[in-house]
Amino acid sequence: MDKFEDILHRDLHQYLSGMKAVDELLPQCPDVEGKWEEIARAYIPDGIREFRDYPSASLGWMMYIGMALAKMWDDDWDACSGKDDLYTDMRDRRGYDSMDEYIREEVLELQGAEYTDVEKVTGECASRVYNALLRQGIEPGTKEAFDAYVACLHQLYLFGAALQLKRMGYHMTKEN
């Protein structure tokens, strides 16, 4: 991880662990982590296109994707891991603009307060990451800006997976 990604990781971890949404020790899920590059390659063209007008959505949708992959991993990873393009499949169900609702309703099967709580947490994480990105003072359109955007997406993806794993009852504790 580079320095900026370390900052993002620390800030998200502090926020989410402070509200008990993730454990102090984050889960290791190599299957979900192993899908990151494939997901990122497919997502980035859509995410960049939306970033200027909808930065929180562009960032937050990746957290939902991380949550969705963690749920798929728990449900039936063999069936999901063999799909060619999990991101495009999720996006095309209702379109990019409604992908968050699709994931909350159809993949995570959330309703009522849970639905709203996940929406709020994801929105807050996206907002925090966006503000951290702005504080970097990076010139838009540069390689540095692209790399920082990808670092933001990567951390949101990983924390989305960690959040969902905790919601499903997976807990990490230190061994004595």
In a domain? residue 123: yes
Domain count, the chain: 1
75 in any annotated domain: yes
Query: Per residue in 36-93, pLDDT tens?
Result: 999 999 999 999 999 999 999 999 999 999 999 999 998 888 888 778 789 999 999 9
- CB-CB contact of 52 with 117 (8 Å): no
92-130 pLDDT, tens digit per residue, is 999 999 999 999 999 999 999 999 999 999 999 999 999
Whether residue 172 lies inside any domain: the answer is no
Q: What are phi and psi of 141, to 5 degrees?
A: 80, 5
Q: Which domain holds residue 7?
A: 3-19+31-167
Confirm whether 26 is domain-assigned. Answer: no
Q: Is residue 94 part of a domain?
A: yes
Answer yes or no: is 176 within a domain. no
Q: How much of the chain exceeds pLDDT 90, in percent?
A: 81
Residue 173 domain flag? no
pLDDT tens profile 126-154: 999 999 999 999 999 999 999 999 999 99
Residue 30 C-alpha from the chain's centroid: 15
Model confidence, pTM = 0.94
- Residue 125 lies inside a defined structural domain of this protein: yes
